[in-house]
Amino acid sequence: MDRRNGKRAIGSAIFASFVVVSAVLIATYPINQAKAYPYGNDTGEYKFGTVSSLQNDENGNPAWVLFGHWKGNLANNQSVEGQGNGTLGGETFNAQFEMVRFNGSAGHTHTITNFVSSNSSQINNSTIFNGTATASMREGPVTDIPSSITITGDKVISILLEPSKISNHFGNTPIYGLVMDDLGDMRPVLKANSTHIGR
């Protein structure tokens, strides 16, 4: 009888040790973090962001919701000092977004690619990149669209494609979105993960 109790005690001690070690490992394992840009693309010279915009119809009334993402290195090339113009090289910018009517109908996807910057300027806290881009449309890609991409306050991005080149498809206002900051936009998530309930 004592032998059985001894085996049970040893078995219980091993199991308890396993539970304690597992709990310590789980408690110290880094918490996964959600990011608002594609996984694995958070290093290097590229910035990412969201597209979240309301666009007007042909009468100038809000009618469409746009949502998606963009990727580029324009936000890293804001080296134009003060007022004036500069010409940069090697910029890239691509966006993909859904476009849906307010009532949830007529959903479709667009891409903006092949942005070629011809010049840039800085006015106050905005950096403006002018050039041409390609946009996917129902009839096929439309190339060499005069385009302006503006980054304001390192936080807001606006994309304006010449409306006449794409039959006013995006209305008469820019497409808006946000510039994501790898660490800065994660601070609320990190703080929430480290905050104890009841404090």
Tens-digit pLDDT string for the chain (199 aa): 566 676 677 767 776 666 666 665 555 555 444 444 444 444 457 788 999 999 988 888 899 999 999 998 875 654 444 333 444 556 789 999 999 999 999 999 999 999 999 998 999 999 999 999 999 999 999 999 999 999 999 899 999 999 999 998 998 899 999 998 765 554 444 444 444 444 3
Fill in the amino acid letter for 55: Q
Please work out, in degrees rounded to the nearest 5, the angle formed at the alpha carbon of residue 138 by the alpha carbons of 137 and 139.
90
Q: Token pair of 41, please?
A: 């693309």
What predicted TM-score, i.e. pTM, was given to this entire model?
0.67
Q: Which residue has the tokens 């396993």?
A: 18
Which letter does DSSP use for residue 140 in this model?
A: E
